[in-house]
Structures are given as C-alpha cells and as structure tokens.
Amino acid sequence: PVLRPRQATESMIKIGTWSENLPGPATPTKRKRNDENAAPSPKPHRTRGANAFLKPNLNWTHFGMSFVVCDVKGSAASDKFVQLAPGMTMAQVYFDCMANFDEQEAKRVGDYNYDLGVYWARSRLLFDMRMSSTENGTSVPQGDRPVGLASMPSISASRLVQVET
C-alpha cells in the first residue's frame, strides 16, 4: 500500500466571495502570452461574486502552517479581495480550515492504515496456508516474509476480519 498524495482541494474551505475581479497575471511572460494589448477578460472563477477559498500550507522546514486565500482552482490571491460569508470572522475561518484539514488528513492516513492492515492480514493468511500445505507435503513455503501485492489473490477485506467496537 502507498499513502496517496495530499490534494490541496481536499483541505480547502469556502470562506466567501471575491469583492471585485481579481487582477490579471503579474509576470511579463504571462502578460505576453495573454496578449498584453488585448482587453483583459478575467476567468469566471476569478470574477466578482465567484467563490473564494482558504487552504492550509504545511511548512516541513519550520514545522509550521500558513494559510493561502485562493480561487476554486487553487491559484493564490490577496485576502483584500475577499468578502467573508455573513457571520464569519478571519479567526473562525482559520479555525474551520484547520479543523477541515485535520479531518481530511485523518481520513487519508486512516485509509492507508486500513489498507496496510489488510495487506498484512493477507500476507499472514497466505503464509499460514503455505505452511499448512507444506506439512501435508503439497508445496514448499516461500519463507516468513510479506507477500508482494501483485502475487496475492484477491480477498475481500470484509471476509478477513470483522471488528466490532
């Protein structure tokens, strides 16, 4: 099993709408590519009234977290263009963003842990089956090691173990 990569859209939360059209590209390359003489037409997700989001950014170097205001596609924008949803404050927005991030991260890691448990249970069952068949003289064991995923038969996880809490 492999821990799937974190996706920015999973931890983004809607915080309000854009109070005005967001400015166009700031870099000369993008302006040139977009024909700097043409009248700029903002993308629909960066126009006034479109949804604004907040996403957390982990900083592994300094063991910290920062927050970025962005559009629906994850492109950063200034928070001065955000009109918060009624009744929301920036403190509440940061709290909600962290709570959502924690929930999504727990789900992502929990799914991985479940897959890992199934993997090891399958490996143990296959090892035990090999050992019991060897005692009967029907095959040779492959050793006390986990079995590769590609060589495992498909076994439904619900048929392996049912845990009641």
Are 120 and 146 spatial neighbours (Cβ–Cβ below 8 Å)?
Answer: yes
Amino acid at 47: T
Domain boundaries, the chain: 10-24+47-138
Beta bridge partners of 70: 53, 76
Mind listing the pLDDT tens digit for each residue in 94-139? 999 999 999 999 999 999 999 999 999 999 998 888 888 766 665 5
Find all residues with CB under 8 Å of 54, minimum gap 6, and list them.
12, 13, 15, 67, 68, 69, 70, 93, 94, 97
For residue 19, pLDDT beyond 90: yes
- The pLDDT assigned to 165 comes to 43
